[in-house]
Structure 1
Amino acid sequence: MSRSTPATLGLAKAGVAFDLVTYDYDPGSERVGLQAAEALGEDPARVLKTLVVLLDGKPACVVLPSDREVSMKKLAAALGGKSAAMMPVPDAERITGYKVGGVSPFGQKKRLPTAVEEAALTEPHVFVNGGQRGLQMRLAPADLVAALGAKTASIVA
């Protein structure tokens, strides 16, 4: 497994401190984020999943705890839109440059408007995908938000 991805390179270039952690990715898992949390032995509230959505028809990114579901209504409001819906997998992979199960909020082909669930800020550290299946980056939640230029809001259902 390569530890050098667009996500890790982008964070390193931005001077953000992070640790890389690998785990055995299960391609048959129905809920990738929960499987990652279990494999890492971490609370699912700390292992964040990255979703790509359509906000008023345009791509956007959302980062939230792996054991929670996004409220599309709350997400749209947080990002100043009227409606949000999940983006089809092939489109999400094309837009981000990552395969589902390895989508990182960092190092995407184009920087997308991003919302992070505000509850993540209460954690001492969080994990986000490192840009490849089985690779997670551990970092401070404030650094996650700052490096993404993300908005924080209550976006869970």
Structure 2
Amino acid sequence: MTTRCWDTRGGYAVSRLPAYPPRTAYSAFVARPDLKGGGSAGTRATTALRTAGVEFVVHSYEHDPAAPSYGIEAAQALGIPPERVFKTLIVDTGAGLAVGIVPVDRQLDLKAIAQALRAKRTDLAAAAAAQRATGYVLGGISPFGQTKTLPTVLDASAAEHATILVSAGRRGLDVELAPADLVSVCRATVAPIARTR
């Protein structure tokens, strides 16, 4: 399997991707901010990243609708450690909605995100409210290109990695980027908001 990668000399190079599990249909491409479109992988999330001038890699895989955890499915399908794949969760503070982004192998600590948001408490938002506020379906909620701009908190563990993956706005599609770029684009705060299962 090959992918087009933008090199520093201003041209495309073709490189070999690492071997991924044979049961998985997998593809990736590196997106340059000045390229328009995005092929079949274009979503509001990738458009938002391109508009922001952020470099990112789009990863796609064959989504299994029966998967019990969309995030763990993505990590396994892409062959990426689950601590580098993050899920985007919507919480209700009582005063409005907010976004929490945590690794897929951990849970959102509702007390910790409430503290980070300076809220008295938080609960996971109802599915309908989360989908309405973001414009995405559950399992495909991206922190980028949401319908409404929501306060966002990224788990501090993201800083341990050069790049992390989050949903690209569709089930079976993730974007990989530097945590600092996620913080910049989302105007996110960083705090320890994840706990082990």
Q: Please tell me the root mean square deviation across aligned C-alpha atoms, in Å.
A: 1.1
Q: Which runs of 4+ in 1 moved over 2 A?
A: none
Q: Could you say what secondary structure the match of 1:45 adopts?
A: helix
Question: Pick from 42, 46, 57: which aligns with 1:4?
Answer: 42
Cα distance between partner residues in 2 of 1:145 and 1:28: 32
How many angstroms apart in 2 are the aligned matches of 1:117 and 1:138? Answer: 16
Counterparts of 1:24 and 1:37, CA distance in 2: 12
**Unaligned 5+ runs, structure 1:** none
Aligned with residue 137 of structure 1, among 156, 169, 175:
175
Kindly state the Cα deviation for residue 57 of structure 1 after the two structures are TM-superposed.
Answer: 3.9
**2:87 counterpart residue number:** 49
1:1-157 pair list within 5 angstroms: 2-157=40-195
Q: Quote how far apart the aligned CAs of 1:6 are.
A: 0.8
Matches of 1:35 and 1:45 in 2, distance apart? 13
| Structure number with higher relative contact order (C-alpha < 8 Å, ≥ 6 residues apart) | 1
Query: What SS does structure 1 have at the residue aligned with 2:165?
Result: strand
TM-score, normalised relative to structure 2: 0.77
Report the secondary structure of 2:174's partner residue.
Answer: strand
- Per the alignment, residue 11 of structure 2 pairs with none
- Deviations for 1:60-107, whole angstroms, at most 9, x for unmatched residues? 001110000011000000011111000111111111100111100000
The C-alpha deviation readout for 1:33-82, integer Å capped at 9, x for no partner, is 01110000000010000001101341100111000001100000001111
Calculate percent identity across the aligned residue pairs: 42
Higher mean C-alpha displacement, 28-37 vs 1-10: 1-10
